[in-house]
Amino acid sequence: MSRHSRRILMNYVFVGLASLATLVAVAALVMILASLVSKGLGGFNLGVFTQDQPGGGGDLGTGGLRNAIVGSLILCGVGMVLSVVIGLLAGTWLAEYGDGNRLASLVRFLNDVLLSAPSILIGLFAYQMFVVPFHTGSALAGAAALAILTIPTVTRTTEDILRLQSSQLREAGMALGAGKGLVIRSIIWKASRTGLMTGALLGFARMSGETAPLIFTTAGNQFFSMDVTHSIASLPIVIFNFALSADENWQRLAWAASLLIAVAVLSANIIGRHLAARGSQHK
Amino acid sequence: MASVQAVAGDAPRSSSPRGASSANRADKIFHGLCFTAAMTLMAALVGLIISLLVGGWPALSHFGFSFFTSSTWDPVTDTYGAAGPIVGTLVTAFIAMALALPLAIGIAVFLVEFCPARIAHSVGIAVELLAGIPSIVYGMWGLFVLAPWFAAHVQTPLMLALDPDSFWGKVFAGVPNGTNIFTASLVLAIMVLPFIATVFRELLLSIPPYLREAAYGMGCTPFEVVRGVMLPYIRKSAIGAVMLGLGRALGETMAVTFIIGNSHAFPHSLFDSGSTIASTIANEFAEANGDLHISALVALGLVLFMITFTVLAAARLLLGRETA
Amino acid sequence: MFRKIALTLGAATLLAGAAQADNFTGAGATFPAPVYTAWAQAYHQATGNAMNYQAIGSGGGIRQIKAKTVDFGASDKPLQPGELNQAGLMQFPTVIGGIVPIVNIPGVGAAQMKLSGNVLGEIFLGHIRNWSDPRIHALNPSLRLPNLPITVVHRADGSGTSFIFTSYLSVADQNWSRSVGASDSVNWPTGLGGKGNDGVAAFVKQTVGSIGYVEYIYAQKDHVAYTLLQNKAHQFPMPTPVAFAAAAAGAPWGRAPGNYVLLIDQPGAKAWPISGATFILMYKQQQNAQKAAEVLKFFDWAYKNGDAAAGKLDYVPLPLSVKNMMRKQWLQIQSGGRPVYQSH
């Protein structure tokens, strides 16, 4: 076979494999979503949004997820604010101010280690830091635990994306007399918008389904509450408690909650990417 | 470019000396904020490690080295040896990464290079959606859908076809109900896939266009462009994506524990049940009451950190200094 | 503008919870979570007070009550009197449930197989490995048992269910007591670990020739074949709430220090041998008398009005005599030298 046709063949094989890989991923997603949707959709009624968690033994179709939805919004909202702010700034520090700096190497290394921390241990740490001293679980403690879980993801992606921006952008900004901070904020961050948004979205995806950090900090509240200084309900906890129970009504709510989380992540993805792409200059 | 215009407009008009202009102060504040954020992160990490050390010390000092080598995990006699979970963690993470990494690179490359632009966006979101499915759903899907399918279509035919005493027979021995180390690794691979693929895709998209165009201009096929130009360019940043995936694979609790069979003994075959560190902690922590039991579980968490440490250090060695 | 909205939302959130009814929290066992939450819902409708129960596991409940981050703890296994005294806690039971062995053997339906505690122990020890074993046949002479290897399924996660089950095996089988013992999480000699009752039931349903154990309500709901078990009176009762209540009726509540009672192998012709009560933990010395009074008011209400809900969920309520005994014991819970509970 001539060298030329061999190269063409390799190319086709590669394209084929890459397409196959994508197909496998999409197929897996479709399979899992199919189970999720078939079990979750049937459990929806208007009450899911207007009623709170039911006690055990309720008739099928009673009760809802209102308190859990509100609770999850609060927890993820506060958690995301914390993680994006700290993660973005920390990642920026590592990428822009941390070259050749031994402290930066240490922070980077520890950040990667924290990526693999079992979420239940983070929950335990948050319990000892934020719950025991105050003698009560609280939504704030839960949000802090979720933030500790997510910050490494955001930091890692931020640093990776910022590093890839070509140095010409930075040099151009500085040549115009802008200080380093200004260069970063108005040029580099803007240029990396979609990448930074990816980091935030990945963090949100991870945070939205995590149960373990919440178990010791804000393990649920079957009643409606917006009091962040005490425990509130959340969708992952509801799923955790209800999915493995013997109560049919509870199980249908668990599946409905799982579907809600998946839809929330999907919407966040779509909206986030839209926002990021609006001002960006990507192809 | 619009951004450069904005910068020109904001730059200090006079060429005042450094240290006096407000722009310079803003710079210092920004630098300070970034530094504070990084230090907050570090404080959380160090705090976590210290709390693990303090919590796990009683168990580690009690059992010493045998904590790592013994596979007896007995809460009744308060004897704890973590060899089973350690091996399970390493095996499942390794298999999961081995399955997920090529798939993820393939997906990222496909989406960036070969996919028609119209559907690339949607497929990309579909892949990211995998990351957002709660892990308990993965667990239940794995237990109620994947396990029976695996038992019926993979395990049983293999067991019928192979001689139980042969090498391959031993590798694939196990109770044919689909809950074993391999299926747990499969579920993990699917969970880890979107993280790696998404970040790889972003990295590939951030490559300056002129590099790709130069390679194409020289007559390279897309495969050669990817292999020779794009992947090497992001090599150092790619380690971050792999770390994200590995982190999830090592620390995942819920999904694994549904399908791994949860036996603390040393796994003897690919289709044997086992346990991982994260799943053991998740399973037993809620009910654990004895001080030594709790300490042993926390010590397990510390071991997991040590494993990550080692993998990271090895990766840095392999890829040379200053991996991003 | 965005910032203004965010600030107002934040302030509203913080202030929203400021004025609340008398709320109190408890945490612990997952086994009674359905009935505790059912009671809480009805109590909230009746009185406006919210009992916030968090099902995080008995160990978690014990840990949180010891750290005083909740107003009461809930545990499936009673604490030993020594541990109670050391921590300054007292415990009292609320409801009772039962644990049943389940099997998946071709040709064997629900309530057809008979087992004894000894044989069960030997199976879980891995000493009896095949369904055709003569020891099983001796108990089931009329049942055709295939030559099928036994796959044991146990709980992967620590649980009160395992504690009660292994306690029973320790009492019924000396080999078990010697080599394994009783705890919420033990060094199982053989078998697979399923996560939760559902996990065990799923494993048993998916694996031919398997045997496991689940709480009674799961055996019902998951449609698995449960077995009969020989009790102390050498009878083979069906596992039903009536049988669990029979076990509770004979139990020495009044005589047990700290209410440490395991409803295992209790005497009585109809008694089911593997039953257990679930307990509430509270401090004897309370700093917040008001909160403690609220907690006891709730459980008093539950004792009075909660039996129907408990029965509907297949739990067994305590006998009235035991409830009254517990009410007297509540006088131990004091603040500033005076009991917080006002009996009426």
Residues from chain A that touch C69, judged by Cβ atoms under 8 A, are 131-132, 135-137
Q: For position C170, what pLDDT does the model report? A: 93
> Which of A23, A164, A9, A5 minimizes the C-alpha distance to B110?
A23
Q: Count interface pairs A-C at CB distance under 8 A.
A: 109
Bridge partners of residue C338, in order along the sequence: C335
Read off the pLDDT of each residue in B238-261 and give the average, rounded to a whole number: 82
pLDDT tens-digit map of C174-187: 999 999 988 888 88
How does residue B11 score in pLDDT terms, banded at 50, 70 and 90?
A: very low
Nearest Cβ partner for A246 among C44, C195, C217: C217
φ, ψ dihedrals at C317, nearest 5°: -70, 160
Positions of E strands within A55-166: none
* Per-residue pLDDT tens digits for A21-62: 888 888 888 888 888 888 888 888 888 888 888 888 788 888
What are C194's two structure tokens?
């399923």
- Residue C17: predicted pLDDT: 44
* Residue found under tokens 């892949």: B127
Measure C193 CA to nearest chain B CA, in Å: 5
Q: DSSP 3-state assignment of C49?
A: coil
Contacts of A246 in chain C (CB under 8 A): 34, 197-198, 215, 217-218, 220-222
Token pair for C337: 């030298």
Compute φ and ψ for C275, nearest 5 degrees.
Answer: -125, 165
> Are residues B262 and B279 in contact, defined by beta-carbon separation less than 8 angstroms?
yes
| Distance of alpha carbon A90 from alpha carbon A111, whole angstroms | 10
Quick check: B221 and A96 CB within 8 A?
no
**Rounded distance between C-alpha atoms, residue B24 and residue C298, angstroms:** 63
Disruptive mutation site among B144, B289, B300 for chain C (greatest number of C CBs within 10 Å): B289
This model of the complex carries an ipTM of: 0.81
Q: DSSP string of B280-300?
A: HHHHHHTT--SHHHHHHHHHH
Inform me whether the C-beta atom of residue B275 falls under 8 Å from chain C C-beta atoms: yes
Please provide the average confidence, as pLDDT, over all residues in chain A: 86
Using an 8 Å CB-CB cutoff, list chain C residues near B73.
Answer: 187
**What is the Cα A195 distance to its own chain's centre?**
14
DSSP state of B113: I
C109 burial (CB, 10 Å; 0-12 / 13-18 / 19+) is: exposed
Query: How far is the C-alpha of B219 from the C-alpha of B214, rounded, in Å?
Result: 9
The partner residue sitting opposite B131, judged by closest CB among A10, A178, A205, is A205
The span from the CA of B258 to the CA of C151, in Å, is 17
* Substitution target from A2, A103, A113, A163 for chain B, most B beta carbons within 10 A: A113
Cross-chain Cβ contact B284/C187 below 8 Å: no
Bridge-based pairing of strands C89-104 and C334-335 is unpaired
The string of pLDDT tens digits covering residues C23-50 is 889 999 888 988 999 999 999 999 989 9
CB distance B284–C185 less than 8 Å?
A: yes
| Residue range B57-69, pLDDT digits in tens | 998 899 888 888 8
DSSP B195-259: HHHHHHHHHHHTS-HHHHHHHHHTT--HHHHIIIIIHHHTHHHHHHHHHHHHHHHHH--HHHHHH
Per the structure block, which two tokens stand in for B232?
Answer: 């090497």
Closest CA to B243 of A242, A115, A169, A14: A115
Give me the torsion for CA of B134, A20, A38, B153, rounded to 10°: -100
Q: What is the pLDDT of residues B201-229, one digit of tens each?
A: 888 888 888 888 999 899 888 888 888 88
The Cα B144–Cα C203 span in angstroms is 9
